[in-house]
Amino acid sequence: MSNENSKTPLYFIRVIMLVKGPGSPALCDRLEKSLDGNAVDVEHKIFPDGERYVHLKGDVSGEDCVLVHTTHPSENLLDLFFLQDAVFQGGASSLNIVVPYFSYGRQDQCFSDGEAISSRAIARRIEIEANSFYSIDLHSSKITDFFSIPATNLSAMSWLADHAELYDPDLFLSPDEGGIQRIKKAAEEVEIEWDYLVKERIDGETVKIEPKGIEVEGKTVVILDDIISTGGTMFEAAKQLAEQGADEVHVGCTHGIFVGDAFQRLKGVCDSIFCTDTIEGKGNEVTVAPLILESVFGIE
């Protein structure tokens, strides 16, 4: 299992101290257990006026540090920038950033005049006080090109595929053609068939969703994606696959945002929902801790 996209060859850090970002508390705890406690806790609070505060609870002077901190919700971006400043102010030798979920990654180009390329704007801010950057299943592989420091896009698809084997699947599906590389990687991990879903508009109110070339009747199907936000596409896909005769439909993703009642709605039409702990919350059946330990810390 290896990185999906990197501007430079992956390198391993000489001496490592984990900085436990408040955006990823459970994930950082899992990482710390494999690092012999070589970690710095972070005090984090929000003042009555909404302003945010972070405080390193340990000495990072002369250390090569890895800060792990997801950027969802958006306020976590401020915590990331403040933590970067605190680590450099503390005299760290280097700071390597791991953002399990990179928010604003879906805006990677201008679609109309006057728009900001938000993912580029964030990349430029992160690199001011960082020596390298890692994220997991970025929505667009182009994002690593926005960094002038080494930037690596890791993939959790192999870990999701391993988890999906619990359901004895016959077929992996991507919800669209754009996810072909992700679903292919997952399917190759467990050596099963894969396909992607296509939409056909029947009339103004009806859309048919079905696999491009493989029948699902009598099969256990797993749909895998990078992000589930509102879950509307996944909901309709799972419902129609069941109507097309699939025995079981399971839904998984790397980043489970699950806006509003999305998680509960999906539970009503599929047999299981699972995601990684890049965003901590519902459905965290898979941890990316081994991926980060292997790819960033050099620990297998």
- Assigned domain for 282 exists: no
> Are residues 79 and 131 both part of a single domain?
yes
Mean pLDDT of 180-206: 85
Contact 287, 276 (CB under 8 A): yes
Our count of domains for the chain comes to 2
Give residue-wise pLDDT tens across range 143-162: 999 999 999 999 999 999 99
Distance CA 11, CA 9 (A): 6
Give residue-wise pLDDT tens across range 89-132: 999 999 999 999 999 988 777 778 888 899 999 999 999 999 99
Check whether 5 has a pLDDT greater than 70. Answer: no
Domain encompassing residue 238: 158-277
- Assigned domain for 272 exists: yes
Distance CA 71, CA 121 (A): 14
Contact 297, 13 (CB under 8 A): yes
* Single pTM value for the model: 0.91
> Are residues 44 and 104 both part of a single domain?
yes
Distance CA 151, CA 131 (A): 9
> Are residues 59 and 166 both part of a single domain?
no
As annotated, the active-site residues are 199
- Assigned domain for 257 exists: yes
What's the pLDDT at 4? 53
> Are residues 135 and 36 both part of a single domain?
yes
- Assigned domain for 10 exists: yes
Radius of gyration of the chain from its Cα atoms, rounded to whole angstroms: 20
> Are residues 184 and 136 both part of a single domain?
no
CATH number of the domain bearing residue 210: 3.40.50.2020
Give residue-wise pLDDT tens across range 42-94: 999 999 999 999 999 999 999 999 999 999 999 999 999 999 999 999 999 99
